[in-house]
Amino acid sequence: MENTPTIFVAANYRLGRWDFHVETTLDGKPMLDLWLKKHIASFGGDPSKVTVFGESAGARAIEVLLLSGKIQGLARGAIMESTVGRSHISPTSSTANTVWDDFMTALPQCANTSMTDVQCIRHLNTSELIEGFNNGRLFFNTSRPNWLPTLDDDIIPGFPSTLKPDHGVLEAVIVGCNQDEATLFTDQSVNSTQAISDMILGSPPSTPNASPSQRKAQLQELQYILDETLALYPNISSLGSPFNTGNETFGLDPEYKRTAAAATDMGFHAERRFHINHQLIPAGISTFSYVFTDPDAVPVQDFVTGTPVPGSLGVLLKVTHSSEIFYVFGTLAERPEVKQVTLTAAKLSDMMMDYWISFANTLNPNDGKGSTRPNWPEYTGNRQLNGHNTTTIKDDFRERQIAFFNRDPAVFGH
C-alpha cells in the first residue's frame, strides 16, 4: 500500500429536506460555506493540494461545479466515479419549488402561522420534520427525483452539456464508469420496450420555461431518438447488459438486458465520453479515465425495482453501479456476503487505492509508490484503463451507439 500521508474528509451530504431544499425565496449561498480549504491546515493538511472526490450523484455535483467554475480556487483536482448524466438537472427553480410546497403542505404545524416557511420549520423538532417528510412522500423516487441540482443562472447557469469549463478551473481529473452501471436500476420484471420509451420520452424540457411549440418539437426529436435507439440496441441477448455474458438471460425476459444496455450507455458511458472529449480535454485538464470490469467483483445486493420475478442476476450483479466503491476503500472483505476475496480482486483493490492516493497527492496516479501497478496514461481515445487485467484499451466500445446519444445531449435535459 501507498505510504503517503493523506487526510480524508467525508461530508454527509445526502440530507434530503434537511439540506437540499429549493425554495425560491431562500438564499442558497449558505450552502456554499465551503470550509475545507480554509481550515484543512488545522488538521495537518495542505490547502494547496485539495482533491474533491465523489461517486454517482456526488460525481455529478463535482461535475456541475467544475463546469460552472465555482470549484476554481477551492480544489486543484477531482475524482468522479460513475457520474449520472441523464435528466439529473431540474429545469427551473420554480419546478423544483413544487417539492418544497409538497413538504410544507405536509407540515400541519406550519399551516396557520405568521412565520415564514423557513422560520416555522426551524421551530420544529426532528420527529416532526420526519413526519412531514414521510407524509409528503418525498422519498428517493426514480420517476420523480426530488433532490436535483437546479438551473439558477449562477451555480448552474445552464444544462451541463452546454457549458464549457474555463482553462485552469482544475489541473487534473480521474473520471470513469463501471461496465454494467444500469443493471442496478433496471426493472427486473421488464418484458417490453416500454422502459426504454419512458427513459427517452420522459426527458424533461430541454429549454427552461419551454413554450408548447418548443416542447412539441423536442418530443418529436425524442421520438426519432427512441426509434433509432431500438434499432441500435436490438433484442439480442448476447449484445445486452450485463455485457460479455453471451445469451444468458438469468431467468429474466431478454428485454431486461436490452434495456440495461441502453440505460448504461445513455446515462453513464455517453456522459463520460462527452465530458472528457468536449469539456475536460479542450479546457486543458489532464484526464485519466477507467472502465471497471472486474469479473471477481463483490456482488451488489439485489436492488430489484418493480415487481419481483423468479429470475435474478444474483451473483452476477457485480460490475454494476457502485461496485467499485468496495475496491476504492479496501472494504471487500467486510462485505457479509463475501466468503473469500479472490487474489485478483484483492490485488486490484490495492492498486486502485494506490492510484487514487497517488493522484490526490501528485495529480498523477503513477507516483511509483505502493503496489506494483501498470502505468496509467493520460486519456486519449486509444488509451483508457480497464479493470481486472488492468490494461490500457481503446475507448471505442459501442462507438456508434454512444456517439448517437452524444449528438445533442441537451435534448435529454442533460
Which residues pair with residue 172 across a beta bridge? 77, 286
pTM: 0.89
Query: Residue 30: what pLDDT?
Result: 45
Mean pLDDT highest for which of 27-31, 89-93, 149-153, 404-408? Answer: 404-408
For residue 199, report the phi and psi dihedrals to the nearest 5 degrees.
-60, -40
pLDDT, tens only, 188-208: 889 999 999 999 998 877 776
For residue 334, report the phi and psi dihedrals to the nearest 5 degrees.
-90, -5
Higher model confidence: residue 400 or residue 318?
400
E strand or H helix at 81: strand 77-81
Q: At 321, which amino acid appears?
A: H
Query: Residue 100: what pLDDT?
Result: 79
Higher model confidence: residue 316 or residue 376?
376
pLDDT band at 19, cuts 50/70/90?
A: low
pLDDT, tens only, 364-386: 999 999 999 999 999 986 666 56
pLDDT band at 336, cuts 50/70/90?
A: confident
SS3 (DSSP) at 172:
strand
For residue 77, report the phi and psi dihedrals to the nearest 5 degrees.
-145, 165
Do residues 51 and 14 make contact, with C-beta atoms less than 8 angstroms apart?
no
Q: At 272, which amino acid appears?
A: R
Nearest one of 82, 412, 31, 376 to 225, comparing CA atoms = 412
Mean pLDDT highest for which of 31-40, 199-208, 395-404? Answer: 395-404
pLDDT, tens only, 126-135: 898 888 878 7
Question: What is the residue-wise DSSP string for 316-372?
Answer: G--SSTTTTHHHHTT-GGG-TT-S---HHHHHHHHHHHHHHHHHHHHSSS--S-SS-
Arithmetic mean of pLDDT, 172-186: 94
Domains present along the chain, CATH in parentheses: 49-90+148-412 (3.40.50.1820)
Query: What is the percentage of the chain residues whose pLDDT exceeds 70?
Result: 82
Lowest mean pLDDT among 91-100, 291-300, 332-341: 91-100
Residue 220 has pLDDT above 60, yes or no: yes
Residue 283 has pLDDT above 80, yes or no: yes
